[in-house]
Structure 1
Amino acid sequence: MNTYLQTGASLHSILSGFVANGPFTGLTVGIVKDQQVIFTGEYGAANVSTGEPVAHSTLFHLASVSKTLVVTAVMQLAERGLVQLDSPVTAYLPYFKMEDERYPLITVRQLLNHTSGMPDEEDYAWDRPEYDEQSLERYVLSISRHKLLSEPGACFAYSNIAYEILGDLIAKVSGLSFEQYMKEHILDPAGMTASSFLKQEVEANIAAPHILTTSDGYGAQVSKVFPYNRAHAPSSTLYSSIHDMCRYMLMHLNQGKAEDSYNALQPDSYDAMWSPSMATGWGHEHEHVGLGWFLGEYKGSRMLSHSGWDTGFLSELMLFPDDNTGICVMTNCDHVWPGSVTLPLRDHLLGAELHRIKQSMAHHIASIAVTGGMEQALEEYHRISREEQDAYYDADFEFLRITDSISWYGHKEDALAIITCAAAIFPGSEAISRKLKLLRTEEETTK
């Protein structure tokens, strides 16, 4: 493996051009290796309406990457003997109930590794947020109307609800609010002093969320809804800069040791967090879940990771402990694949030359389909296939994500045009065929 990346100036130039000519609104990238921060960069706009650039101090909403901090907090409490991972949740939250006779069997460990049988949340109420300290407990009380999907411990099923319960457990066991515990015992001691789980504390520095629309051409606009609700703080609301996230990666790669001799966790806790506990069915790179982390392999290297996706934001955190390397990418748009950045950077760390990062074929073709029509879009696709293959990556799932995004915001005709192009480009894709059939049926129904 390379000891260091190519010159920072060269990588900055590549990333600057990538963002300037592609669908990302704002982007920030951090790379650590061998207990050093070897690269950070900020690109694009924090707010496309105002033109404010992403800066050194810009914070991003990390969505589900927040969960890796929650498991760190729970493991801290376990090390202090205040929580037993295999004890029932009701031992710590006696008011926790469900409309299911099996709920008393749910353990703390099963919440951490998504094997509790808990369903996932369907409505985060981003458009009607709560801000008071009691919101988390009220949310846990509201879970009483839910039933389990399966027997606790039987299988993997990702659940944000599980992590809200864990956040309330942290609060009740520690005697602090969830956000205060995270600040005093994880963020500040780890040197993440610009970060917070409480939006009100850091609002002035947070990038604006952006969604994909076709209301004025094709592109991103600032979302009218910001993804914050204090009831969902544990699963979703870490706000952090790339510099703080680099400190966070270094802490974990160093088995819990951070600045000023702070030890977030002991090695035994890492053995528990980073050991496979259940298969996910999510592919080679996320083959198993540990406690709060997904475990897999990328080109022969062990990978620990978590991604985040909420309205207007995407994030991806990857650790390669055997190589002592970490990569974090954050963006303030929710419709672009972050792997288009993280994977080329990972390949570069493995020794591949990096002259440019490929752009999204799906976004390029979708833009032309909306602004110039399907025929022009397909002509451009065939031209690129002949002349510029190395400049774009081709991914059918991105066409699906684009279609879902603009359909959600009411642009059904444009969504149909885009998925029709995708069907011509990927004639063998069953997922695209199903989506095309669905949108055509919806169009016929509304006529």
Structure 2
Amino acid sequence: MEGTMSDHQRIKEKLNRVLAEFVEQEPVTGLSVGIIYDNKMLYAKGFGVKNIETGEAVNETTLYHMASVSKTLVAAGIMRLVELGKITLDDYVVDHLPYFTLSDGQYRKITIRQLLTHTSGLPDEDEFEWDRPQYDELSLERYVKSVKDRHLLWEPGTNFYYSNIGYEILGDLIAKVTGVSFEQYMRENILLPSGMRDGTFLKQEASDTSLATPHVLGIENGYGGRVSDVFPYNRAHGPSSTLYANAIDMCSYAIAQLKQEVLSADCYDLMWRKYADTGYGPEMEGIGLSWFLGEYKGLRLVSHAGRDTGFRSHLVILPDKGIAVCVMTNSDYQGLKVVWQSVLDFLLGEEVPYIKKSLAHDLAGWTMSHGIEAAAERFRSIQPSQLDRYLVSEPELQFIADTLFERGARQESEQLRELSYRIFGEQH
């Protein structure tokens, strides 16, 4: 795809068209996309709205809650301390945080490397208390002390199990080793050196005029996004979840990873080395130091996704091609895999006339507005040749049903389960 400025302009025009069509056809509220090609920023643009109630447009400087993509920066922060000789990856956590305890005495064996690779044996957190946020600098320390009654799932170093708890512990460790707050250390040592001028882990520092509003799935005013009652911020969960960044920031960060500008090549060799199998499929089959490792169409892929209340994000990098794609949305119910895969295919030279439309969202919307019989008839009316334009996923329809159930829309949830059975049960 290297070429003249006019070639790049045609690429951008094609991206503008297919991404705008995707946002128009899906119940997504806002979407931003940043693209690196040949180790340079090719594209950064926003679509849709920051807030469905105000209609304010998204652009390339709109800030999103990046959720678990945050963890990749924490890994970089830890590796910077390794480079400086402040810590080693095989240090025991208790050597730096003597107040860290668990109900299982094996916690003393947990190392920094095991926290980074989700092989510590720690369980995951299931209550982030977004509705009861903490804002003070001691939030992380209090959180680390609060996990004292948790049980290890197995002996440290034995198996992979994704744990947000481990990253809060890493954030507190950074603060204690450096003597400054986690957020200050990250800004000075990772964000700014990566060129992320608007990026921050502190919501208080994120510009209110730039920050996207979180949206959850609703049916009260028609099927689609509604503004979330809570914003997913709690300083006690900063390291695992609360990076705020825009498309330009994420392009700068991706370039820094591709060019290995912030850390040494040795650090990237360690970060992008497989430590355990995840069981997550070919694109994320291994875990490095925070990063998921796999392949995409025969190419080495490193990535991380994120999802919290009202937001989703995905950063994917093809290190051997100098390509990266970051996709962000302020709708927590909208899958992004179809977007980044379509963009990658396009960058790899494939013809991509459109991004596939979600069949699950289409039929769920029809069920809410016209009833289950009409939705079933709509599916039957789709010709096999037309079905190629749709992303057909039974798990996605089940996810939507589960989401509505959690929101209290139990009757509508049951309708979607019945619809799923009619459609996919018939095909099995």
Same fold (TM over 0.5): yes
**Match for residue 84 of structure 2?**
80
Q: State the distance in 1 between where 2:66 and 2:96 align.
A: 28
**2:174 pairs with 1:170:** yes
Is the partner of 1:52 in helix, strand or coil? coil
Cα distance 1:304–1:429, how it changes in 2: closer, same or farther (>3 A)? farther
Q: State the distance in 1 between where 2:402 and 2:58 align.
A: 27
Preserved contact between residue 209 and residue 332 of structure 1 (Cα < 8 Å): yes
**Match for residue 142 of structure 1?**
146
**Match for residue 219 of structure 2?**
214
Question: Which consecutive residues of structure 1, in runs of 5 or more, have no partner in the other structure?
Answer: 258-263, 431-447
Preserved contact between residue 227 and residue 311 of structure 1 (Cα < 8 Å): yes
**Match for residue 36 of structure 1?**
40
Give the deviation of 1:322 after TM superposition.
Answer: 1.0
Is the partner of 2:408 in helix, strand or coil? coil
Q: Which moved more, 1:380-389 or 1:275-284?
A: 380-389
Preserved contact between residue 30 and residue 246 of structure 1 (Cα < 8 Å): yes
Q: State the distance in 1 between where 2:346 and 2:227 align.
A: 33
**2:279 pairs with 1:281:** yes
Is the partner of 2:377 in helix, strand or coil? helix
Q: State the distance in 2 between where 1:2 and 1:193 align.
A: 28
Give the deviation of 1:15 after TM superposition.
Answer: 1.0
Amino acid paired to 2:189: H
Is the partner of 2:303 in helix, strand or coil? strand
Q: Map 1:56-67 to 2 at 5 A.
A: 56-67=60-71
Amino acid paired to 1:367: G
TM-score, normalization by structure 2? 0.96
Q: State the distance in 2 between where 1:420 and 1:336 align.
A: 21
**Match for residue 251 of structure 2?**
246
**2:353 pairs with 1:355:** yes
Q: Which moved more, 1:388-397 or 1:119-128?
A: 388-397
Give the deviation of 1:355 after TM superposition.
Answer: 1.5
Structure 2 residue corresponding to 1:301, chosen from 292, 299, 302: 299
Structure 1 residue corresponding to 2:331, chosen from 324, 330, 333: 333
Structure 2 residue corresponding to 1:107, chosen from 87, 90, 111: 111
Q: Map 1:3-402 to 2 at 5 A.
A: 6-204=10-208, 205-255=210-260, 257=261, 264-386=262-384, 388-402=386-400
Q: State the distance in 2 between where 1:10 and 1:217 align.
A: 31
Deviations 1:219-247 (A, max 9, x none): 11000111000000000000000001000
Amino acid paired to 2:27: P
Q: State the distance in 2 between where 1:39 and 1:67 align.
A: 24
Preserved contact between residue 70 and residue 239 of structure 2 (Cα < 8 Å): yes
Preserved contact between residue 335 and residue 402 of structure 1 (Cα < 8 Å): yes
TM-score, normalization by structure 1? 0.92
Q: Map 1:421-440 to 2 at 5 A.
A: 421-427=419-425
Give the deviation of 1:391 after TM superposition.
Answer: 2.4
Q: State the distance in 2 between where 1:270 and 1:56 align.
A: 28
Is the partner of 1:32 in helix, strand or coil? strand
Amino acid paired to 2:423: I
Q: State the distance in 2 between where 1:207 and 1:141 align.
A: 32
Deviations 1:400-443 (A, max 9, x none): 2111111111000011111211111111799xxxxxxxxxxxxx
Q: State the distance in 2 between where 1:362 and 1:198 align.
A: 36
Aligned length: 423
Q: State the distance in 2 between where 1:254 and 1:177 align.
A: 28
Give the deviation of 1:22 after TM superposition.
Answer: 1.3
Q: Which moved more, 1:353-362 or 1:136-145?
A: 353-362
Amino acid paired to 1:60: Y
Divergent runs of 4+, >6 A: 1-5
Preserved contact between residue 307 and residue 315 of structure 1 (Cα < 8 Å): yes
Amino acid paired to 2:34: G
Deviations 1:91-121 (A, max 9, x none): 1111111111100000000000000000100
Is the partner of 2:50 in helix, strand or coil? strand
RMSD: 1.4
Question: Which consecutive residues of structure 2, in runs of 5 or more, have no partner in the other structure?
Answer: none
Q: State the distance in 2 between where 1:242 and 1:202 align.
A: 14
Is the partner of 1:118 in helix, strand or coil? coil
Give the deviation of 1:387 after TM superposition.
Answer: 6.0
Give the deviation of 1:55 after TM superposition.
Answer: 1.9
Preserved contact between residue 213 and residue 411 of structure 1 (Cα < 8 Å): no
